[in-house]
Amino acid sequence: RVVQPGIVRIFDVAEHDDRPWIVMQLVPYRSLRDVVADSGPLSPRQAASIGLRILAAITAAHAGGVLHRDVKPGNVLLGPDGHVVLTDFGLAVADGSTRVTTSGLVVGSPAYMSPERARGQAATPAADLWSLGATLFAAVEGRDPFDRNGTLAVLTAIATEEPDRPVRAGPLWPVISALLDKDPA
């Protein structure tokens, strides 16, 4: 549905043994999560460059009527020459699709779930942008913006608290802070 250089190509969706399978492009790059874990946090300039490419992918997905719903460092692949690919559209929903999640079920990565989703509200394009902010925070700080002990504590912090104070974000902090605003509007 969406073709953009920063989005993994999905070739087919099949069902086998009553389970859906997604056939997608092989992207042999390392994830942002792995790069930060192995080499340490990125500089604000590096994170900003990656963030702009993620934003382009999210914008293209939204223009095509697709919400990603799981933007996080593990789903951002970093290739040579600054190539960035947003992958894992397994939780994505498209305009006009029916909701496939069960009420009360946490779908996605709690540390990167927007406040409105943490409160059980529907995902909107703003939720993907909030997750971009959390991803950028993790890229420059080397940890999640609401790093707490346990899923419930993380979701509560996301819904009710301000993000942890950054140490390394520098000039990128105003952008990250605005993306992590609790109000999706």
Distance of CA 143 to the CA centre of its chain: 14
Which tens digits make up the pLDDT trace of 61-101? 999 888 888 899 999 999 999 999 998 765 656 654 434 34
Selected catalytic residue, list 12, 38, 70, 147: 70
Distance of alpha carbon 5 from alpha carbon 8, whole angstroms: 8
User: Is 70 tagged catalytic?
Assistant: yes
Q: What is the pLDDT of residue 90?
A: 56
Which segments of 7-124 are extended strands (E)? Answer: 10-16, 19-24, 30-31, 66-67, 76-78, 84-86, 93-94
One-letter amino acid identity for 73?
A: P
* Cα dihedral 26/47/68/58 (nearest 10): -100
Q: What is the pLDDT of residue 85?
A: 95
Is the distance from CB of 123 to CB of 69 less than 8 angstroms?
yes
- The per-residue pLDDT of the chain, averaged, comes to 88
Which tens digits make up the pLDDT trace of 23-49? 888 999 999 999 999 999 999 999 999
In this prediction the pTM is 0.88
Q: What is the pLDDT of residue 95?
A: 59
Is the distance from CB of 113 to CB of 155 less than 8 angstroms?
yes
